[in-house]
Amino acid sequence: MSAQVHALAAPTPRTAAAAATARAAPIAAAVSNPRAAPAAERFAPMSFKVFTARDLDRIPQLARLSPEQRFEMKVVAAVLPFRVNQYVIDELIDWADVPRDPIFQLTFPQRGMLASEHYERIARLIEGDADKDALEAAIAEVRHALNPHPADQMQMNMPLDEHGKRIDGLQHKYRETVLFFPSQGQTCHAYCSFCFRWAQFVGDKELRIASSEARVLHDYLRTHTEVTDLLVTGGDPMVMKTRHLREYLEPLLRPEFDHIQTIRIGSKALTFWPHRFLGAEDADDLMRLLRQLVEAGKHVALMAHYNHWKELETDAAHAAIRRIRATGAVIRAQGPLIAHINDDPAAWARLWKTEVRLGLVPYYMFVERDTGARHYFEVPLARAWEIYQQAIQQVSGLARTARGPSMSASPGKVEIQGVTEIAGEKVFVLRFIQGRNPDWVQRPFFARFDEKATWLDQLAPAFGEAKWFWQDEYEAIRAERLVG
């Protein structure tokens, strides 16, 4: 695919002159209903330019890398999805610090993202100008070896209809919360190199979770009154037009959906394309929709994904945050702890302090999931706890809303609460933040300390116990779902 250009009214890249002009001459947006959308800060229009794997040679900044490094990128991008845009390239990456720059690591392929045997296999085929079918078959095998859907997402999280048929586009793992994957939102303005949902973006329909039918969502929510929270996710719902988002969300204002108290929208757009909330042709309508939901009594939360404080430094990011908050929506900030990007207490402390200063609510520090390029990005759980503890010590109580480190494993969200010694044994102290059985939530349990473990399945119960307290029940739940 050649570089894609989408005409959107949005700020130009932040050159010194452009930034000065933008700060000196903000223009009030003309909207039909002043109460429905606050004034937006405007910048000179620009196009939204996207680069994919086929466009690596068209990114001028990559010329500073060696031919070997550029070839390595092409090999990795043949297996794992790659997409970046001009805003990220121009505004967020310090090219003098590449390849160490955290946003470069966040968005551009690195050789270490593939295991040596996988890298060498694909590299040989590309160097040898292999037959297309042979290359695609090898790529498919490598992808399937990377655990494309961790935590039993496809087997256990997808709800069934009254006939036992899987309902596409929904996940219902925890009693109170339903996830919805709108088909119009199954891409992002740029892709995170560590993304645990990478399988959504590689063009394999068997790996994709999505639905374009609002009726499917509404019918399910109407009959499941135990659900209080809807999370619209992807991909990134903010890539879709506001009119599509409205079709999914506006009907939830009807009395039959009074049990839906919270509407969450998962998005990385505040990092990768904050202009979506400023100069896009339907940005004003998006603000009206958010305000409409809030004024109707719904709690609206934009679940913003942040990995580094550098993402919060641009003028456009600040303006977008101000505009969203003016609607009454809350911005909650979350992200995983990942090697090469933010495995440093100072980076997390600065991130949380910046979020609080800008009016965001620190929400989660996640552990990198067991999928995709995990061996490149994962951090041992013992080190993850040290980073969290040392970072949280540096912030005030307002930033200590950030929970973690948290593993979103198949049984539930498991938080590492600490490392201690009990009866002479060094242990991890764990608890469920969420569980497949709500009775598991908040119950502490203990694992033998293991300095190399990076995920729940690498831990063993402490004190000589043969099983976790929840294990028999979880295995029964799993067996029932897999049979179904």
Residue 188 burial (CB count, 10 A): 25
**For the whole model, what pTM was predicted?**
0.88
Does 54 map to a domain? yes
Of the candidates 328, 346, 377, which is a domain's last residue? 328
User: Which amino acid is residue 434, in one-letter code?
Assistant: Q
Q: Which domain holds residue 87?
A: 50-145
Domain identity same for 163 and 287: yes
Domain identity same for 252 and 388: no
Please give the pLDDT value at position 449. 98
Cβ-Cβ contacts under 8 Å for 397 (sequence gap 6 or more):
none
Residue 346 burial (CB count, 10 A): 13
Please give the pLDDT value at position 10. 40
Whether 126 and 134 have beta carbons less than 8 Å apart is answered as no
Does 19 map to a domain? no
Domain identity same for 94 and 192: no
d(CA 67, CA 137): 26
Does 352 map to a domain? no
Please give the pLDDT value at position 44. 57
Does 8 map to a domain? no
Does 222 map to a domain? yes
Domain identity same for 131 and 78: yes
Total structural domains in the chain? 3
Of the candidates 98, 123, 145, which is a domain's last residue? 145
Does 451 map to a domain? yes
Helix, strand or coil for residue 271? helix
C-alpha triplet 30, 31, 35: angle, nearest 5°: 125
d(CA 244, CA 288): 14
Rounded to a whole number of angstroms, the distance between the first and last alpha carbons of the chain is: 40
Residue count of the chain: 484
Domain identity same for 141 and 153: no
- Helices 16-24 and 315-326 cross at an angle (nearest 10°) of 30
Burial of 258-287, coded b for 16+ CB within 10 Å and e otherwise, reads eebeebbbbbbbbbbbbbbbbbbebbbbbb
Please give the pLDDT value at position 41. 59
User: Which amino acid is residue 259, in one-letter code?
Assistant: H
Domain identity same for 126 and 153: no
pLDDT, one tens digit for every residue, the chain (484 residues): 434 433 333 433 343 334 333 433 333 333 334 344 444 556 555 689 999 999 999 999 999 999 999 999 999 999 999 999 999 999 999 999 999 999 999 999 999 999 999 999 999 999 998 999 999 999 999 998 988 776 566 667 888 888 778 888 899 999 999 999 998 998 999 999 999 777 777 666 655 565 678 999 999 999 999 999 999 998 999 999 999 999 999 999 999 999 999 999 999 999 999 999 998 999 999 999 999 999 999 999 999 999 999 999 999 999 999 999 999 999 999 999 999 999 999 999 999 999 999 999 999 999 998 888 899 999 999 999 999 999 999 999 999 999 999 999 999 999 999 999 999 999 999 999 999 999 999 999 999 999 999 999 999 999 999 999 999 999 999 988 776 5
Please give the pLDDT value at position 91. 97
Please give the pLDDT value at position 224. 96
Question: Domain holding 163: CATH number?
Answer: 3.20.20.70
Please give the pLDDT value at position 234. 87
Q: Quote the mean pLDDT of the chain.
A: 89
Domain identity same for 162 and 236: yes
Domain identity same for 206 and 121: no
Does 28 map to a domain? no
Domain identity same for 94 and 218: no
Domain identity same for 475 and 422: yes
Of the candidates 130, 145, 160, which is a domain's last residue? 145
User: Which amino acid is residue 391, in one-letter code?
Assistant: A
Does 31 map to a domain? no
Domain identity same for 56 and 164: no
Please give the pLDDT value at position 444. 95
Residue 163 burial (CB count, 10 A): 5
d(CA 429, CA 442): 12
Whether 146 and 114 have beta carbons less than 8 Å apart is answered as no
Checking DSSP bridges between strand 299-305 and strand 170-174, what pairing results, if any? unpaired
DSSP 88: I
Max CA pair span of the chain: 69
Domain identity same for 104 and 139: yes
